Structure 1
Amino acid sequence: MTHAAQHLAPKHRESRFRVRCPHCNSFARARSSKQLTPIYREVRFECTNDACGHVWLAGLETLRTLCPSEQPNPEIDIPLTVAVPTTSAEPAAPAAAAG
């Protein structure tokens, strides 16, 4: 691929999910994880602050679908979230009573 083609190609961004220690607020490092069900994973975190030393398990769960899969697994039932339209218009004020 030429340099010009590389420049025009879409760039892949690496996803970065950062978790902080609930005690000292330092960043944590995911050390291992275990898939317990198709939609639930336990993750073992360690605080990066050596003076804190906290180690804990957290749960990562698929809660709902925002955009349906093009290859859905028939054995998996994940609720679909329906998008709620947003509007910048403010609700109309009630009309004043004629009197």
Structure 2
Amino acid sequence: MFVELFNADVFGNIRRCQGFVSRCTKEIHRSGHELASERIAAAIASMRRYNKYRLTYFQALLEQARKQAVSPPAGREIVRRPGNPCSATPAPR
């Protein structure tokens, strides 16, 4: 993305690129490298799709990705011990 912006106008986009780098760094520190890199890649893909390279739009995309709930695996089952006070069914006596 930076190459595209710099090819279009170096001096016009240098501050914008610095802002993107700053936001990416903050996102990596906030949520970890693996998760942040996925979110950043998705945000960049969306900016390319709509040809809208704005820092506020990038921040909004990262915020939206952060708020999306991570769904648990479909085969997951919760197993509770008998006598657990937090379980929905009362313990057998």
TM-score by length of 1: 0.20
More strand per residue: 1
Q: Return the index of the structure with the highest Cα Rg.
A: 1
More helix per residue: 2
TM-score by length of 2: 0.20
* Higher RCO by CA contacts (8 Å cutoff, separation 6 or greater): 2
